[in-house]
Amino acid sequence: MKFIIGIGGVTNGGKTTLTNRLLKTLPNCCVVHQDDFFKKPDQIEVGEDGFRQWDVITALDMEAMINTVKGWQENPVKFARSHGVSLSPEAEEAGSEEKGIHILIVEGFLIYNYKPLIDVYDKCFYISIPYEECKRRRSTRTYTVPDPAGLFDGHVWPMYLKHRKEMEDNCDSIEYLDGMTSKEEIYNKVYETINNSLLNSL
């Protein structure tokens, strides 16, 4: 049985923290991080706002991302092995997806803004935090390409608001999570929801 979970959310909302925790506790679980599909800096256009357009869907190679998800769908055992994920003895013996549960987490900030991707999820989560907290967290992070002055207010937050509205129009099965609650609380809620969904699907 194959099960795909989307973990979306605002920048610095806690998506990766939650994903990493779930990876350790869910059986035969792999992950696809949207951030791994950013194009090279010289391929990112400068927009009318004067900033390189990192926070838009065209900054990402979404075709490659979809192909990666499809690769998992075609053979989750092979995918897990090639990504160094240890499988349960049951799944290892089967050698294919015949036995056991195989889970894929798709994690990123625009995972509900690309139609071909929206259709693959069995369960969708979205973490949000308010403007002030998001700006505070973002300022403490170090990026490979550092944020130029004014990027958050001039590009990051306006794009977040635009894409959030787009997402709400496109996808009505999202469960929203409050990123201001404790990491433990968010994890427990998500873990319980996933477990219930898996039990109902068996």
Active site residues: 35
- CA 190 – CA 185 distance, rounded (Å): 9
The neighbouring-strand residues paired with 46 are 52
Contacts of 40 (CB under 8 A, 6+ apart): none
Q: What is the DSSP letter of 175?
A: E
Question: What percentage of the chain's residues is helix, strand, coil (to nearest 5)?
Answer: 50, 15, 35
- CA 74 – CA 70 distance, rounded (Å): 6
């190679």: which residue's tokens?
Answer: 61
Contact (Cβ atoms closer than 8 angstroms) between residue 153 and residue 139: no
Contact (Cβ atoms closer than 8 angstroms) between residue 56 and residue 142: no
Q: What is the DSSP letter of 82?
A: H
Measured CA angle at 186 (ends 184, 190), to 5 deg: 115
- CA 199 – CA 51 distance, rounded (Å): 46
